Structure 1
Amino acid sequence: MKHVFPFKYSIFSKRTILVLLLLLLMGTFAVKAQCLENNFAFQSGEKLVFRGYYNWGFIWVAAGEVSLSVRTTKFQNKKTFKIEGEGKNTKAFDWFFKLRDTLTCYADTKTLAPLYFDRRTHEAKYDAHHEYWFDYEKNQIRSKIQKRDKAVKFDTLKNKPCTFDILSVAYYVRNLDFAKYKKGDKIPLSMLVDNEIHSLYIRFRGLETIKTKSGESFECLKFSPLLVEGTMFKGGEDMTVWLSNDDNRIPIMVEAKVLVGSVKGLLESYEGLRNTKNSLFKNEKGNLEIAE
């Protein structure tokens, strides 16, 4: 059965599948970024779980899991969304490359403007702790970065309008009004990654249907984020993201070419969805088996 609904990433840092799935919803532009006017896509209590796969040759291997969750709380006496992301590889790969990453963001419930962002990275022998405080009165971002066996670094960046971190930006993109754009359009965005503010973009590529193993079809919004060249990517638009074409805008699948092979993330389970009417998802909780 095909579901059709009306319209309403990314920068990648280091090596982690967690960052891949979080950053799949971001991009950079030379155009002025737009701020959120209305959150219609998610609510407190939502939790999404993704399964990560790595391809080398003709074989797709389950490599890790990423979970994203949201709840309301207070931060600096303000009502905020606490957005948390956790990524880890499968235990079978621990002997080869142990990965445990956690991301935490406190963002304004109305605008999704980030107030604080924390990233703790544990990848094999690499450890790092990044913290960022957003001061909108002074138009600054203060940072504190600690890496293994290195001195703590403090810095102050000049903030830009509507700048998001790699967690809040993913939820911001879910609220974009894609009805304003036609196939091929670039949608601008400003994002903070590794103590730098980047101006990127996502290119809207229209609609495409994703099928489950049971044969069900889901119409999705398809786009490609502009990637920054680094240890995993050559740069360019070698990543594709599919969002459910309904009011939930759930990331259903992401694929990207890396320097060696390619990676894929598939939605595995969901709960606490905000929208159940006029939705691809008939219940607020469930599991999916996306056809690979």
Structure 2
Amino acid sequence: MNTQAKKLRLLLIALLMTLSVGVHAQGMANTAFKAGEFLSYNLYFNWKFVWIKAGNASLSTTLTRFKGQNAYKASLNASTNSRADKFYIIRDNLTAYCTGNLVPLFYSKTTHEGDRRNLDEVNYTFNGSRCTIKQRRRKTDGSNHYKTTVKSNAFDMLSVFLRARSWDAAHWRTGYKVGFNIVDGNSCNPAYIQYGGKTNISGDNGHKYRCLKLSYFENEGKGYKRIATFYVTDDKNHIPVLIDLNLKFGSAKAKIVSIRGNRYPVEA
């Protein structure tokens, strides 16, 4: 995978880590979003000290049915633009289902990156505070790889995003940390968020927002590494406005373009 593709994938991961804190298997009240919310972003890479728009991403949430019960459905779609496609094509689609009280049910991700076409699937079964996670990855050659993980706080990127937006950061102090686990088709890694105070951030929609500054760290077996610093609205919505990535092979960022169907007025 080339440098541009790595940057875009990390942008998507960082985007969905927003307020990923305090998660556990039990249900919790959704206080942050409603069905019909739609968020869109511009994605940028830093190429030889020049910021270049490399693609777009959108995240939508709807109310549907899953295996006979009402459920929220979150959908993330991301793609490189025609300019970036000349170097590397990315077309990723992620879908997650969770209950009305934000317990994850199912997650899938279809990946088209260059010549690689993968499918990830995650099924959740809860027994008290313990969760059995059935993982599947289908690779480009059609081979399937299965894994079972048992954790008390493991969530995919989308269900974590939906769930954690309802947590209240009003009493956080600078340096505050909270840990969790992120699962996909073949891995489960520990991670944590560190709070860095408040600041004002401009979006790509002409608006400026008062935001919480958060840094995301992940451990893939070689110690914790800071993946991104991102900024979310300091209000009940907790909408991600900007994500900055400082990578050893360059920089990247995602900036908010539009916010529709939000549950509360954006007071930040």
1:20-40 C-alpha deviation (Å, 9 max, x unpaired): 23434439x9x9844663211
Structure 2 equivalent of residue 87 of structure 1: 78
Secondary structure at the residue paired with 2:59?
Answer: strand
Secondary structure at the residue paired with 1:21?
Answer: helix
Q: For residues 206 and 90 of structure 2, what CA distance do their matches in structure 1 show?
A: 34
Contact 1:207 1:219 (8 Å CA) reproduced = yes
State the Cα distance separating 1:171 from its structure 2 match: 2.2
State the Cα distance separating 1:260 from its structure 2 match: 1.2
Unaligned residue ranges in structure 1 (runs of 5+): 1-13, 281-292
Match of 1:96 among 87, 102, 127: 87
Match of 1:249 among 238, 241, 250: 238
State the Cα distance separating 1:17 from its structure 2 match: 2.3
Structure 2 equivalent of residue 211 of structure 1: 202
Q: For residues 7 and 27 of structure 2, what CA distance do their matches in structure 1 show?
A: 28
1:224-278 C-alpha deviation (Å, 9 max, x unpaired): 0103459xxx9622411100111111100000012311100000112111002x7
Q: For residues 72 and 167 of structure 2, what CA distance do their matches in structure 1 show?
A: 18
State the Cα distance separating 1:63 from its structure 2 match: 0.2
Q: For residues 148 and 56 of structure 2, what CA distance do their matches in structure 1 show?
A: 34
Structure 2 equivalent of residue 192 of structure 1: 183
Match of 1:147 among 136, 139, 150: 139
Match of 1:59 among 50, 53, 69: 50
Secondary structure at the residue paired with 1:189?
Answer: strand
Structure 2: which amino acid aligns with 1:142? K
What are the equivalent positions in structure 2 for 1:272-291 lying under 5 Å apart?
272-276=261-265, 279-280=267-268
Unaligned residue ranges in structure 2 (runs of 5+): none
* Cα separation, partners in 2 of 1:166 and 1:23, compared to 1, 3 Å: farther
Contact 1:18 1:88 (8 Å CA) reproduced = no
State the Cα distance separating 1:140 from its structure 2 match: 1.4
Q: Could you tell which deviates more after superposition, 45-54 or 254-263?
A: 254-263
Contact 2:7 2:252 (8 Å CA) reproduced = no
Structure 1: which amino acid aligns with 2:171? K
Count of equivalent residues = 260
What are the equivalent positions in structure 2 for 1:71-86 lying under 5 Å apart?
71-86=62-77
Q: TM-score, normalised by structure 2?
A: 0.87
Match of 1:23 among 1, 8, 14: 14
Q: For residues 48 and 177 of structure 1, what CA distance do their matches in structure 2 show?
A: 21
Between Structure 1 and Structure 2, which shows a larger proportion of strand residues?
A: 2
Contact 1:113 1:162 (8 Å CA) reproduced = no
Q: TM-score, normalised by structure 1?
A: 0.80
Structure 2: which amino acid aligns with 1:279? E
* Cα separation, partners in 2 of 1:258 and 1:55, compared to 1, 3 Å: same
State the Cα distance separating 1:83 from its structure 2 match: 0.4
Structure 2 equivalent of residue 120 of structure 1: 110
Structure 2 equivalent of residue 38 of structure 1: 29
Q: For residues 165 and 63 of structure 2, what CA distance do their matches in structure 1 show?
A: 18
2:259 is equivalent to residue 267 of structure 1: no
Structure 2 equivalent of residue 237 of structure 1: 226
Percent identity, aligned pairs only, is 30
